[in-house]
Amino acid sequence: MNEKQHLTMKDIARELGVSVATVSRALSDSPSISRERRQAIQQYAREHNYFPNVIAEQLRHSKRNPSRAIGVIVPELVHYYFSSILDGIEAEASSRGYQIMVAKSNESYDREVQICEAMLKNKVCGIIVSQAKDTEKYDHFEHLASAGVPLVFYDRICPALNASRVVVDDYMGTMNAVSHLIETGCKRIAFYGASMNMVIAKNRFNGYRDALYKHGLTLDESLVRICDNRADAERITPAMMRMENPPDAFFAVNDETAIGILTVVKRLGYNVPDEVSICGFTNGFRATVCDPMLTTVEQRGAQVGKEAADILIGLVEGTLPADHAEKRIVKTRLVLRGTTRHP
Amino acid sequence: MNEKQHLTMKDIARELGVSVATVSRALSDSPSISRERRQAIQQYAREHNYFPNVIAEQLRHSKRNPSRAIGVIVPELVHYYFSSILDGIEAEASSRGYQIMVAKSNESYDREVQICEAMLKNKVCGIIVSQAKDTEKYDHFEHLASAGVPLVFYDRICPALNASRVVVDDYMGTMNAVSHLIETGCKRIAFYGASMNMVIAKNRFNGYRDALYKHGLTLDESLVRICDNRADAERITPAMMRMENPPDAFFAVNDETAIGILTVVKRLGYNVPDEVSICGFTNGFRATVCDPMLTTVEQRGAQVGKEAADILIGLVEGTLPADHAEKRIVKTRLVLRGTTRHP
DNA sequence: TTGAATTACGCAAACGATTGCACTTATTTA
DNA sequence: TAAATAAGTGCAATCGTTTGCGTAATTCAA
């Protein structure tokens, strides 16, 4: 019933009394095989549902043709932004005939190194990666690069490496969002961001700062906090609101944090958005679930993934020169909802 | 700088003036090679960071050793439950030395067939799959099975095929949830479920029905609706509440739908949970974001994924007999929050 | 009829690794 | 001293394909 052994060209050749070479050529529709034989062989193959052994094909072609598997390293899987990116990568890859091999770094440097090794062994044709928070050494990436495996960074890029990358426009995204808060009457805007050693965190902070300056406001350090998750937001926000001159708006580095702020602010009896405005960053599932719904900066993960895959495939197929570092920036979009006032 | 060409055994052999066979044996630490040579070869390999070409290894071993890549087919990626499952699969797979190859069916039968083909070509050692909603033929799965590729279904199983599977206990999960609604005083409980041609939808409905019966309530068909997303929920719920004898509770097939109900019910001025109770199914991101937070049945996607990977690897490695159909059921857990009353 | 051109195929080497077998030395035993 | 044993290597086939080259059979032109 279940004939484990796949049919090979050799089998077909034996059965039809021709050589393996003839079978190979017939199946690739080479004109150097007579029409009748070609058709006979193709028909036999079809009827016995032959399909080529890619392993062998790849081995034969390893010099010229790379594999068609793209390695994707993602810090987390159960995460709106990252799964959107994965979705974008998968869509682009599959539409261009590539498969994706996915591994989760769990934000750990060691795991990241392991994964690179495994992917290299599995002969991926290239790797799309967002660095783990943990990662401060780049030797594993350099090693890949010198082994000729194209690398594309997304989200958390590696500033020390001049590699291809696609990021969202954190600076402008934040700048626009904070400008919107100011333009709807907010004067004291708090900023909850991630630790500044990540490039994206710094860019968002700069966008915040410059939006304030642009509108003639001053930066009050007491309104700036390191905070990028809900639990921390719920912990530190009450104190923030107890200040003698509390904020009238919050910009949070992601939706999750914004929701934490919203929860606390509502519990403390403030009206959102009239007394306190809140703006997040991501536009994930959560944004339309809370009450009022969250104004937030849409991060367009699927687009990021698509661009990353596009660059990688370009690098693999030689459309882009191998030594070229392609850098793309995906524009964000401010989505206005109920946690901010409207002009 | 960037020497594309990987170092092969042949290179090492040439450089050290020995045969390829000797290199192979030395690297596998065979005692039949003299200690000095063995060490010299190993050192040379290490210094020039040689690593074996898996393609070639696999070709050589294709008879005995399957590959270590697991194919995973998922209907959607940007989805809490499915990304949780993916997370569980990835964790189990990577801890046991396997990679995962992911593809998204987009709920389309045609795409599903394509993917199966691609995965077969890429010589995955087995496939973990949730059927697309669309799928009603199973030939592609049977084809895989007869090619000797182990198959494990999760979530949406294929009832016509006696294959391994892991599902959550939809029946008991729903039964317990509806019982909880009844025990906290609800008498008219509406049911929003998916189309009954999916097994999981039917199981959930049966759980609902039996919970009613068990508590001496009767099933009112006018309270049962086909509805599994937020937009539909927001569309049909107002009419539901305008009935002369409106429901005092809702059970929804997923959190998203439950949120839709919650939004409408709150807007209509009902108090949740005092006048109307709501229970969802999933326990995803949304559940803790809405106000009040959602009582829901936790679906434990990561556990489902882990079990599925465990079965598949068992099948691949022969721990489980190849013809055996292992069926596992993951217990759900009712998470009580603010949208239902507490005893 | 003969040489050239064309057609249709097979041979065999490659891709990179593994492994049974044979072979050369060196060492031991009788 | 001859023969048996052991230790250390190499040869060559193999996994399933692809492909340059050679060659037999056929056709064509002169």
**pLDDT average, residue stretch B181-190:** 97
Structure-block tokens of residue B18: 């020995």
Superfamily, domain A170-299: Response regulator (3.40.50.2300)
Q: Tell which residue, A295, A279, A193, has the closest CA to residue A236.
A: A193
Asked if A63 CB < 7 A from strand C, the reply is yes
B143–A91: do the CB atoms touch at under 8 Å?
no
Query: Cα(B22)–Cα(B1) distance, rounded to whole angstroms?
Result: 29
The one-letter code for the residue type at A249 is A
Q: Decide if A239 touches B, using CB distance below 8 A.
A: no
Asked if B62 CB < 7 A from strand D, the reply is yes
Range with lowest mean pLDDT among A57-66, A150-159, A250-259: A57-66
Q: Could you tell me which residue, B57 or A262, shows the higher pLDDT?
A: A262
Question: Using an 8 Å Cβ cutoff, are B156 and B229 in contact?
Answer: no
Structure-block tokens of residue A120: 């290299």
Q: Where are the beta strands (DSSP E) in chain B?
A: 69-74, 99-104, 126-129, 151-154, 164-168, 189-193, 224-226, 249-252, 277-282, 295-298, 327-330, 333-335
Would you say the CATH fold of B69-168+301-330 matches that of B9-52? Answer: no
In angstroms, the Cα distances linking B126 to A331, B49, B123, B178 are 40, 31, 8, 38
At residue A278, the pLDDT reads: 98
Mean pLDDT of chain B: 92
Find residues 5-34 of chain B whose CB sits inside 8 Å of chain A. Answer: 6
pLDDT over threshold 80, residue B148:
no
B59–A59: do the CB atoms touch at under 8 Å?
yes
At residue A2, the pLDDT reads: 36
pLDDT band at A286 (very low <50, low <70, confident <90, very high): very high
Of A residues 16-45, those with CB within 7 angstroms of nucleic strand C are: 17-22, 31-35, 37-38
At residue A1, the pLDDT reads: 31
At residue B64, the pLDDT reads: 65
Domain ranges of chain B: 9-52, 69-168+301-330, 170-300
- Protein fold of A69-167+301-330: Rossmann fold (3.40.50)
Question: Using an 8 Å Cβ cutoff, are A251 and A190 in contact?
Answer: yes
Q: Could you tell me which residue, B196 or A307, shows the higher pLDDT?
A: A307
In degrees to the nearest 10, what's the CA dihedral of B78, B260, A256, A191? 120
Find residues 281-300 of chain A whose CB sits inside 8 Å of chain B. Answer: 284-286, 289-291
pLDDT over threshold 50, residue A3:
no
Q: Decide if A123 touches B, using CB distance below 8 A.
A: yes
Find residues 32-61 of chain B whose CB sits inside 8 Å of chain A. Answer: 49, 51-56, 58-59
β-strands A99-104, B99-104 pairing: antiparallel
Residue A77, min C-alpha distance to chain B (Å): 6
Asked if B9 CB < 7 A from strand C, the reply is yes
Q: Tell which residue, A81, A137, A43, has the closest CA to residue A255.
A: A81
B24-CA/C30-C1' distance, Å: 38
Percent residues over pLDDT 90 in chain B? 76
Question: Using an 8 Å Cβ cutoff, are A308 and A265 in contact?
Answer: no
Q: Out of 1.10.260, 1.10.155, 1.25.40, 3.40.50, select the CATH number for domain A9-52.
A: 1.10.260
A9-CA/C3-C1' distance, Å: 38
With CA of A32 and C1' of each nucleotide, the nearest comes out as: C8
At residue A5, the pLDDT reads: 57
Q: Which residues contact B339 (CB under 8 A, 6 or more apart)?
A: B258, B262, B272, B273, B277, B278, B279, B280, B290, B292, B293, B294, B295
Query: Cα(A255)–Cα(A286) distance, rounded to whole angstroms?
Result: 7
pLDDT over threshold 70, residue A4:
no
Q: Which residues contact B208 (CB under 8 A, 6 or more apart)?
A: B174, B175, B178, B189, B191, B193, B251
* Sheet strand arrangement including A189-193: A224-226, A189-193, A249-252, A277-282, A295-298, A333-335
B52-CA/C24-C1' distance, Å: 30
In angstroms, the Cα distances linking A253 to A2, A154, A283, A297, B77 are 54, 17, 11, 9, 23
B91–A104: do the CB atoms touch at under 8 Å?
yes
Query: Cα(B265)–Cα(B226) distance, rounded to whole angstroms?
Result: 18
At residue B318, the pLDDT reads: 83
Mean pLDDT of chain A: 92
Residue of B285, B306, B323 best to disrupt the A interface, most CBs of A under 10 A: B285
At residue A93, the pLDDT reads: 96
3-state secondary structure of B102: strand
Residue B202, min C-alpha distance to chain A (Å): 27
Find residues 83-102 of chain A whose CB sits inside 8 Å of chain B. Answer: 83-84, 86-87, 90-91, 94, 99-102
**pLDDT average, residue stretch B118-137:** 86
- Protein fold of B170-300: Rossmann fold (3.40.50)
At residue B124, the pLDDT reads: 87
At residue B2, the pLDDT reads: 35
At residue A62, the pLDDT reads: 75
Question: Using an 8 Å Cβ cutoff, are A151 and A72 in contact?
Answer: no
Question: Using an 8 Å Cβ cutoff, are B191 and B205 in contact?
Answer: yes
B120–A51: do the CB atoms touch at under 8 Å?
yes
**pLDDT average, residue stretch B202-207:** 96
pLDDT over threshold 70, residue B243:
yes
Buried b (16+ CB within 10 A) or exposed e, B222-256: ebbbebbbbeebbebbeebbeeeebbbbbbbbbbb
Percent residues over pLDDT 70 in chain A? 98
**pLDDT average, residue stretch B38-42:** 94
**A178-195 residue pLDDT tens:** 999 999 999 999 999 999
Q: Where are the beta strands (DSSP E) in chain A?
A: 69-74, 99-104, 126-129, 151-154, 164-168, 189-193, 224-226, 249-252, 277-282, 295-298, 327-330, 333-335
Q: What are phi and psi of A167, to 5 degrees?
A: -130, 160
At residue A270, the pLDDT reads: 97
Query: Cα(A33)–Cα(A50) distance, rounded to whole angstroms?
Result: 19
Percent residues over pLDDT 90 in chain A? 76
**pLDDT average, residue stretch B95-99:** 93
The one-character DSSP state at A247 is -
Of B residues 29-68, those with CB within 7 angstroms of nucleic strand C are: 52-53, 55-57, 59-61
A53–B123: do the CB atoms touch at under 8 Å?
yes
Query: Cα(A31)–Cα(A202) distance, rounded to whole angstroms?
Result: 61
**B304-331 residue pLDDT tens:** 999 999 999 999 888 899 889 999 999 9
Pick the most confident of A59-73, A304-318, B129-143: A304-318
Residue B316, min C-alpha distance to chain A (Å): 13
B52-CA/C20-C1' distance, Å: 22
pLDDT band at B1 (very low <50, low <70, confident <90, very high): very low
Structure-block tokens of residue B50: 């040689």
Asked if A58 CB < 7 A from strand D, the reply is no
**B161-175 residue pLDDT tens:** 899 999 999 999 999
With CA of B57 and C1' of each nucleotide, the nearest comes out as: C17
- Protein fold of B69-168+301-330: Rossmann fold (3.40.50)
Find residues 305-334 of chain A whose CB sits inside 8 Å of chain B. Answer: 322-323
| Protein-proximal positions, strand D, CB < 7 A | 7-12, 14-20
Buried b (16+ CB within 10 A) or exposed e, A102-125: bbbbbbbbebbbebbebbbbbbbb
Residue A343: cis peptide before it, omega within 30 degrees of 0: no
